[in-house]
Chain A
Amino acid sequence: MSLKDYIQGKRHGRDAHKLEREAMNDPFLQDAIDGFDSVQGNHLPVIEQLEQRIGKKIAGRKPSARIWYIAAAASVALLIGISVLYKPHSDWVQPITQSSIDNSVMADSIGQQNKTDSVQQQPVTHVPPAVIAQARVPDSQPKVAEELNVAVADHIELPAAMSDKQYAVPESLSQQASSAITTVVPGLSLQSMEKPETTTISNTRLLAAENPQLKSNKIFGRVLDESGMPLIGVSVKYKNEYQSATTDLEGNFVLPAPKEKEEKIQFSYIGYQQKEVAVAADSTVVKLVPNDLALNEVVVIGYGVQKKSGLTGAVRKKDAAVGVGMKMKNEFGEKEFRKYFNDNRLRYLCDGNEATVRAMFEIDPSGKPINIRIIKCDCEELEAEFLRLISSSPLWTKTGEKVTLKIQLK
């Protein structure tokens, strides 16, 4: 039994006794009960009004932080826009204004909805009008801010995606990018070697065969498959040093001699198991073994890729529906989840009473809600139902974001 029930007059029976007994060990509770008993009147509406005022206070605080976010997001968008695009283009300016208008319209309507909501929520008791007015106004603000926030975040993605398709990436940028790639994927480039061309590789190899003195500067080798045929384009690199090469048409490679004697050479090639060989002799012949696991046959189906083994049985309809639904709508957020929740929830919950659940969670990169925290819930059935559906919902589209969600049963 809660204190609220108790002060409402439910004072008989075991539950009331339990609370009174609890109060004996909880001076806070005891003082509260004493207080309610010492002052005449129905205290419950006052308590509810106080709770609402607290709620509005929290809501009223949010906009300042949100506005800051918007400012930050907007400046980031501006920076990206300037650095990525050569020239401003009217095409992508337009969708922004378009969508921000949409959003502001949406936000307006949400704000209005909210107002009507809060009117309905007001208790029937007499409340000074000034208090209501003061409290109600800030409530709609954070929602507006939230919408705008989302809108700005969308714009960041927009120019980047469009620039990929429509405009040449500036040269400086692409150079940076490719140099980054060479460091990350050494097999793609032979920058670290003096002469990267294949002809010079075979030349030096010939030279090396004739002149053993050169051998100390370079490491030569050949990569073959399991049947002894040369493998072309195998990525060859040191385990710890920043030198790498790829094999030529005959499977040959050459690397500058390692600084460390203990260095190992790594060979990797798609469809073959990666192999590590200690640098021992000057020339090495390596045989790679196919990686059977990597060669499963795949079937491309309408909404994704599936292993062929998975298709011998029927494709489960639920997966397909989720996949197709996602691709077509292209969006799954709070609004969609509310609909999903209402379509799928148990019909009879919480004795048919009004109930609210408020939760906060994050969307992981794959779109799954994680770190779900129930902040408030009136009724355990609703909480359980919410948790069931949030964990079985389609993937969310706004990945990497924090979501606060309130669902009301009516």
Chain B
Amino acid sequence: MLTDEELLRIFSESNDMLYFGELYKRYVPKTYGLCLKYLEEKEKAQDAVMDIFQKLTTTVQQYEVENFGTWLYSVAKNHCLQLIRKENQTKFVKIEDAFVENDELFTLTDKQKPEEELNALEYCMGTLPDEQRQSIRLFFYEEQSYADIVETTGYQLSKVKSYIQNGKRNLRICVLKVLQKG
């Protein structure tokens, strides 16, 4: 199977829409989901997916795109945000959603980090609120999915997500503090 970048290169060489269509199709699920998130209505989201495709077919060749996924993400998100602005809606985008934290911290479970970091992490896990600690433990150590965690704990799905998100942030802050002190 061709990679995104290969498809894009062939497209810009041949100018054959077929290739770009295939490339975009790979991202239809993601793009549609993204539009659903920001536009909150199925019809609007569907229109947006088609509009973005239309827009890209004329603009994509003006850019030198290194990573198509990242690029499409910013284009699609901007498209949706513009739509929201146009309709004069006030929508609150949670800041913590807008940037997703790197989960670098949890490569710790791969046991490649120095021991003091592991110790710091262990200590910080103890400082977390119960819900956060449990969600984090199940997700990163037991490798459960969100739905599994919901089943195990009885928390709501959205809660699980935010427990993990907040727990991660708290952990990071805590671990950095401990390491600096030590």
A contact residues vs B (CB 8 Å cutoff): 2-4, 7, 11-14, 16-17, 19-21, 23-39, 41, 43, 46-47, 50-51, 53-55, 57-58, 61-62, 358, 360, 373-377, 383, 404
CB pair B25–A51 under 8 Å, yes or no, is yes
20 contacts between A and B (CB under 8 A): A7-B29, A16-B146, A17-B145, A17-B148, A21-B103, A21-B139, A26-B100, A28-B30, A28-B69, A30-B100, A31-B34, A31-B77, A34-B33, A35-B38, A36-B36, A50-B46, A50-B50, A54-B25, A58-B18, A58-B21
A405 and B29 CA atoms in complex are apart in Å by 25
In the bound complex, what is the Cα–Cα distance between A27 and B70 (angstroms)?
9
Q: By the criterion CB–CB under 8 Å, are A53 and B147 in contact? A: no
In the bound complex, residues from chain B placing their C-beta under 8 Å from that of A23 are 100
CA distance A137 to B53 in the complex (A): 20
Interface residues of B in 7-58 (CB under 8 A from A): 7, 10, 17-22, 24-25, 28-38, 40-42, 45-46, 49-50, 53-54
| Of the residues A53, A373, A375, contact of B50 by C-beta under 8 Å | A53
Which of chain A's residues have a CB closer than 8 A to the CB of B145?
11-14, 16-17, 19-20
Q: A39 vs B32: C-alpha distance in the bound complex, in angstroms? A: 11
Closest A residue to B10 by beta carbon equals A373
Give the bracket for the number of chain B residues in contact with chain A: 35 or more
Is there an interface contact between A383 and B50, defined as CB atoms closer than 8 Å?
no
Q: Is B2 an interface residue (CB 8 A)?
A: yes
Inter-subunit contact A20/B146 (CB<8 Å): yes
- Which A residues lie within 8 Å of B18 (CB)? 58, 360, 375, 404
The answer to whether B33 touches A35 (Cβ under 8 A) is yes
The 8 A CB mask of B45-79 against A (1 = contact, 0 = none) is 11001100110000000000000011011000100
Contact between chains at A376 and B22 (CB < 8 Å): yes
- B36 x A54 contact (CB < 8 A): no
Are A57 and B29 in contact, CB atoms less than 8 angstroms apart?
A: no
Main SS of chain B's interface residues? helix
A61 to chain B: which residues have CB within 8 Å?
A: 17
Does B92 have its Cβ within 8 Å of any Cβ on chain A? no
**Beta-carbon nearest neighbor of A374 in chain B:** B1
Query: Known contacts A29-B30, A34-B97; is A55 also within 8 Å of B147 by CB?
Result: no
Contacts of A377 in B (CB 8 A): 1
Known: A19-B145, A41-B42. 4 other contacts (CB 8 A): A14-B143, A32-B37, A35-B32, A54-B50
Q: Are A51 and B28 in contact (CB under 8 A)?
A: yes
* Contact (Cβ within 8 A) A54 B29: no
Cβ of B103 and Cβ of A33 under 8 Å apart? no
Contacts of B102 in A (CB 8 A): 24-25
Q: Does B176 count as interface, using CB distance less than 8 angstroms? A: no
The residue from A2, A17, A31, A57 contacting B53, defined by CB atoms under 8 A apart:
A57
Asked if B49 contacts A28 (CB within 8 A), the reply is: no
Q: Which of A28, A53, A373 has the most CB of B within 10 A?
A: A28
Q: Name the contact of A34 in the complex, choosing from B1, B37, B70, B151 (C-beta under 8 A).
A: B37
Docked pose: A47 CA to B34 CA in angstroms = 12
Contacts of A12 in B (CB 8 A): 145, 147-148, 151
How far apart sit A226 and B48, CA to CA, in the bound complex (Å)?
83
Are A3 and B30 touching (Cβ within 8 A)?
yes
